[in-house]
Amino acid sequence: MKQLLMGDHAVSRAVGLARVDFIAAYPITPQTLIVEELSEMAARGDIHTRFVKVESEHTALAACMGASMTGVRTFTATASQGLLLMHEILHWAAGARTPIVMVNVNRAIAPPWNLWSEQTDSLAQRDTGWLQFYCENNQDVLDTTLQAFKIAERTLVPAMLVLDAFILSHTTEPVDVPEQAEADAFLPPYSPRHILDTDAPRAFGSITGADDYFELKRLRHESMRDVLAIAAEVDADFETRFGRGHGLIKPYRCEDAELVIVTSGTTSSTARAAVDALRDQGRAVGMINVRLFRPFPGELLARAIGSAPKVAVIDRNLCVGLGGIFAQELRADLYGRDVRPEVFGFVTGLGGGDITPASVSAMAGHALANTPPADNAPIWWK
């Protein structure tokens, strides 16, 4: 049934549909609507969840890890500083193979204080061993939350999904909300493999030498790579059941393109409008929405870029001293492939600055008319 939902509330509804057993969370703007709504749902008896209101994000994730190790489905949500505070436990939860699902509402990082949209918080966690989805709209948010549980529990890789602060978190859109029975059929109860169990006592995380340590790390890498196929399979299954899929990436009008714009999150919707306008003007421009960032879908991107000679990556994030992070990842992945387009790395919209169809068109025009800076330097676009 279609309902009008804010992005944060789309998350809460999906968490309810997923029959999550354990939630631990701490308030931070602009994530707070998620946990407020979940609190209301729990108080009304709509969901049967143990919901612990903890004293920090660090404890929120640590508690989820303990609960997941004890064999139940767990969820938490955070943003910005809260995600950064969790950093140590992000590594631990991934290493412990706990399939926690977490929503991060992208928010800029202080100082100075700024509550608006920027992706640096989650992208700075790219090496922690969590899979990462970047959502484009509220339907994507709800559907990806449901999918994330399934993918995480199959691969034992924890899942982070990301939505843009305010642009999605606090914006109301029509969202098709599945019936509970449909959600149950898609996402059966979690059946854990190795848990803390007094009938089969095991020690988890004991000290090891280099051999075991190396092998465990390698296996985590394999599992992360497996996500590419499993996430595609889960999305296809979802599409069969609900009539909509989202793809790991979503190319748009890339055929015969001179320039392909690569974006993520809500910027993709903006870029799609810009591509239509540019195509109307006879400019051969396409775009790709990158929905899955970890594992990085390099093969899919290379195929979608095809023979386009130029790529413009729009990054609402910054690796200080290097530039936009999506651009960096794409360049690294393309190196050594047959596809070797010129890659322009635009850094724009930091701290919630507007990214508009006009600014995307202007960036496209710049890329079409120029060659990229020789040292791969970011192109600052205010």
Partner 1 sequence: MSERAPLLKSQRSLDHELVNQGHMACPGCGAVLAMRYVLNVLGPKTIVVLPACCWSVISGRHPASALNVPLFHTAFETAAAVATGVRGALDARGDSETHVLAWAGDGGTFDIGLQALSGAAERNEDIIYVCYDNEAYMNTGVQRSSSTPPGAWTTTTPAAQPEDRDKKDIMGIMAAHRIPYAATAAIAYPDDLMAKVKKARDTRGMRFLHIFCPCPTGWRTPPDMTVELARAAVQARVFPLYEVENGETWSLTLEPEGRPIADYIRAQGRFAHVDDQTIAQYQSATDRRWDQLMKRMAQGC
Binding residues for partner 1 (CB under 8 A): 21-22, 24, 49-50, 52-56, 58-59, 62-72, 74, 88-89, 92, 96, 196-198, 200-209, 212
- 49 or 106, CB closer to partner 1? 49
Question: 369 Cβ partners below 8 Å, 6+ apart?
Answer: none
Is residue 200 packed enough to be buried (19+ CB in 10 Å), middle (13-18) or exposed (0-12)? exposed
Burial (CB count <10 Å: 0-12, 13-18, 19+), residue 317: buried
User: Are 27 and 60 a contacting pair, CB within 8 Å?
Assistant: no
* Token pair of 83 as six digits: 């995600």
Minimum separation from the CB atom of position 324 to partner 1 (A): 32
β partners of residue 22:
50, 74
Taking the complex as a whole, the smallest distance from the CB of residue 234 to partner 1 amounts, in Å, to: 24
What angle do the packed helices 357-369 and 267-280 form, to 10 degrees? 60
Residue with smaller CB distance to partner 1, 11 or 62: 62
Least separation, in Å, of the C-beta of 194 and partner 1?
Answer: 10
Q: Could you tell me if residue 274 is left (phi over 0), alpha (psi between -120 and 50 degrees) or otherwise beta? A: alpha
Could you give the CA distance from residue 80 to residue 121 in angstroms, rounded to a whole number? 5
Closest CB 26 distance from partner 1, rounded Å: 10
Nearer to partner 1, 58 or 154 (CB): 58
| Residue 21 or 315 having the CB closest to partner 1 | 21
CB 376 within 8 A of CB 345: yes
Bridge-based pairing state of the strands 2-6 and 172-176 = antiparallel
Minimal distance, residue 61 CB to partner 1, in Å: 8
Distance CA(108)–CA(105), nearest Å, equals: 10
Distance CA 112, CA 309 (A): 39
Q: Whole-number minimum distance, CB 59 to partner 1, in Å?
A: 4
Peptide bond into 295 cis (omega under 30): yes
Residue 55: CB atoms within 10 A of its CB come to 9
Q: How many CB atoms lie within 10 A of CB 95?
A: 17
* C-beta closer to partner 1: residue 66 or 353: 66
If the CB atoms of residues 56 and 370 are measured against partner 1, the closer one turns out to be 56
CB of 88 to partner 1, least distance (A): 6
Q: Reply yes or no: is the peptide bond before residue 357 cis, omega within 30 of 0.
A: no
CB of 6 to partner 1, least distance (A): 27
* Between 130 and 346, CB nearer to partner 1: 130
In the complex with partner 1, the residue whose CB is nearer, 21 or 153, is 21
